[in-house]
Amino acid sequence: MSTLSLPQTSYIRDNSRTFTDWLKSWLLTVDHKRIAILYLLAINFFFLLGGLAATLVRVELITPQGDLMSSDVYNRAFTLHGVIMVFFFLIPSIPAVLGNFLVPLMIGARDLAFPRLNLLSWYLYMIGGIFALIAAVFGGVDTGWTFYTPFSSTYSNSNVVMTITGAFIMGFSSILTGLNFIVTIHKMRAPGLTWFRLPLFIWANYATSIIQILATPVLGIALLLVVVERLWGVGIYDPALGGDPLLFQHLFWFYSHPAVYIMILPAMGVISELISTFSRKRIFGYEFIAFSSIAIAILGFLVWGHHMFVSSQSVYAGLVFSFITMLVAIPSAIKVFNWTATLYKGSISYRTPMLYALGFIGLFVIGGLTGIFLGVTAVDLHVTDTYFVVAHFHYVMVGGTIMAYLGGIHFWWPKMTGRMYNETWGGIAALIIFVGFNMTFFPQFILGYLGMPRRYHVYPPEFQILHVMSTAGASILAIGFIVPLIYLGISLRKGAIAGDNPWGATGLEWKTSSPPPTFNFDKTPIVTEEAYAYPPEAAERDAAAWRPGSPL
């Protein structure tokens, strides 16, 4: 299907005359692609904000004494970092930006099933974000992002209610996005696009959406009850009044453990796309990758107790949770093995998105394997609430989600903007981030194993060398995040025109123009083949055609 000659205008252009009209055309848009761009801007803003808070934390930890800030300010800094990064960056990042942009494109639909609901999601996200920001400006919160009772209910004097309201509202944004995706994927697939012809990114987002609609309301009610307890001085979680703080932990982790799969599953979807495209091969074990996403989503609901091994939870419950936690490793490993098998005898081109994908695999393997350490109750007792845990979840959540998020942004950048970014700088930034990331978080495994507890602003002097390494790594990481902002920004004006399919990738999103027209396709596409339908000899041909200096 040739789309070059078509007169439809791209979704970015409009013929508004005045600035107000232009602003309205963006802020009141129901186009999923424009909403994705709105999310992109908002989410990156929150990412920088969360990064700023992380900087404060890392700078304080350069010396063993608390010289930059008091323990109270330090508590507020790491809580701000956690709340912003978890609720306003990691959870919405890939589904809300890439998912919003790509789900309708990949399934050959004109838009999501409920475009206005989609816009509402963005507004809810923004309102939630504003609540969190106001709470931060007027003194911040000191409970940690987990809002554990009784810290958050009885003992904290900070803006808990305000922040919780922010997280609560953002939760509804997440629910509505998930609902929209589920309905869209069920009902709006193009003719011929059967479930097993769907790109794996769609499968991953489908699994994510199920978690979003099932788990998020439970967090909502748990947080709502904290607010009730604080405002009216009643004792739903207060042991002095008969309540049980553990109830909060159960309800909280019933959401927040699946929430880490909300972060990582869409990331895995992105990686499947990247690996296949840049190896010029069909994905290995398509069905296994697809079903492992669903398996992770289901098992993810049954492991929340592994966050509570040292609470007063029953030892037998702990054993069961430990066992099911091990089971999660199976579908995760299936994915990793399938990706590596896809690479085998592929014609691998080390373009920027591929660098991120390979980086993802490395970081995810380390993060995942240390997760097994933590799932073993005996080891967990030793490292609970230490930097080992901090390092583990940063490897999985940050190393996983951010690598995939950036990889995905680079991969679909030509589709979103119609322009190519600078490949040289792209590769350099990807390497800087990989090095900076490992330098930041690997020392934290050692710190944690040696007994450095998390959330402390002072520490014994013998830990200083590792903390200094970590802070140095964080500085490198920060540079790695700023460089893409610059060259991606420049590419908007000066980048080469990308064309419809600069990577020679399969997938419906590459069959429409770049940037796509408002209704995505001029004619509803009809799908006749599976996803990643690279012919068997594609990799060989690609390798034969390869020469130094060629773009691919």
Interface ranges with other proteins (CB under 8 A):
1-2, 6, 8, 104, 109-115, 175, 179-180, 182-184, 186-188, 213-218, 220-222, 225, 228, 232-236, 240-244, 247, 250-251, 519, 522-524
Residue of 99, 105, 102, 305 whose CA lies nearest to 209:
99
Of 166 and 243, nearer to other proteins (C-beta) is 243
Helix axes of 200-232 and 160-187: crossing angle, nearest 10 degrees: 150
Q: Output the smallest distance, CB 305 to other proteins, in A.
A: 14
- Which residues lie closer than 8 Å to 304 by C-beta, 6 or more apart? 250, 253, 254, 256, 257, 258, 321
Residue 484 burial (CB count, 10 A): 24
Give the separation between CA 479 and CA 437, rounded to whole angstroms.
Answer: 11
Of 150 and 346, nearer to other proteins (C-beta) is 150
Q: Output the smallest distance, CB 232 to other proteins, in A.
A: 5
Helix axes of 423-450 and 352-375: crossing angle, nearest 10 degrees: 10
Secondary structure string (H, E, C) spanning 140-203: CCCCCCCCCCCHHHHHCCCCHHHHHHHHHHHHHHHHHHHHHHHHHHHHCCCCCCCHHHCCHHHH
Give the separation between CA 273 and CA 358, rounded to whole angstroms.
Answer: 12
Q: Output the smallest distance, CB 524 to other proteins, in A.
A: 7
Per DSSP, 307 falls in state G
Q: Output the smallest distance, CB 111 to other proteins, in A.
A: 4
Secondary structure string (H, E, C) spanning 264-275: HHHHHHHHHHHH
Reading phi first (left if > 0) and then psi (alpha if -120 to 50, else beta), residue 108 is in left
Give the separation between CA 241 and CA 138, rounded to whole angstroms.
Answer: 30
Q: Output the smallest distance, CB 311 to other proteins, in A.
A: 14
Q: Output the smallest distance, CB 230 to other proteins, in A.
A: 12
Of 28 and 552, nearer to other proteins (C-beta) is 28
First vs last Cα of the chain: how many Å apart? 23
DSSP 432-496: HHHHHHHHHHHHHHHHHHHT-BTT-S---GGGHHHHHHHHHHHHHHHHHHHHHHHHHHHHHHHSP
Of 251 and 383, nearer to other proteins (C-beta) is 251
Q: Output the smallest distance, CB 1 to other proteins, in A.
A: 6
Q: Output the smallest distance, CB 340 to other proteins, in A.
A: 35
Residue of 517, 439, 445, 519 whose CA lies nearest to 472:
439
Please give the structure tokens belonging to residue 116: 């206005």
Of 84 and 182, nearer to other proteins (C-beta) is 182
Q: Output the smallest distance, CB 414 to other proteins, in A.
A: 23
What are φ and ψ of residue 500, in 5° steps? -70, -35
Of 245 and 266, nearer to other proteins (C-beta) is 245
Of 226 and 383, nearer to other proteins (C-beta) is 226
Q: Output the smallest distance, CB 218 to other proteins, in A.
A: 5
Q: Which residues of 511-543 are buried (b: 16+ CB within 10 A; e: fewer)?
A: bbbbbbbbebbeeebebeeebbebeeebbeebe
Of 139 and 191, nearer to other proteins (C-beta) is 191
Give the separation between CA 514 and CA 165, rounded to whole angstroms.
Answer: 39
Give the separation between CA 503 and CA 498, rounded to whole angstroms.
Answer: 9
Residues present in the chain in total? 552
Of 40 and 210, nearer to other proteins (C-beta) is 210
Of 26 and 519, nearer to other proteins (C-beta) is 519
Q: Output the smallest distance, CB 121 to other proteins, in A.
A: 13
Q: Which residues of 375-412 are buried (b: 16+ CB within 10 A; e: fewer)?
A: bebebbeebbebbbbbbbbbbbbbbbbbbbbbbbbbbb
Give the separation between CA 101 and CA 103, rounded to whole angstroms.
Answer: 6
Q: Output the smallest distance, CB 219 to other proteins, in A.
A: 8
Q: Output the smallest distance, CB 109 to other proteins, in A.
A: 6
Asked whether the beta carbons of 461 and 64 are under 8 A apart, the reply is: yes
Asked whether the beta carbons of 353 and 411 are under 8 A apart, the reply is: yes
Q: Output the smallest distance, CB 142 to other proteins, in A.
A: 25
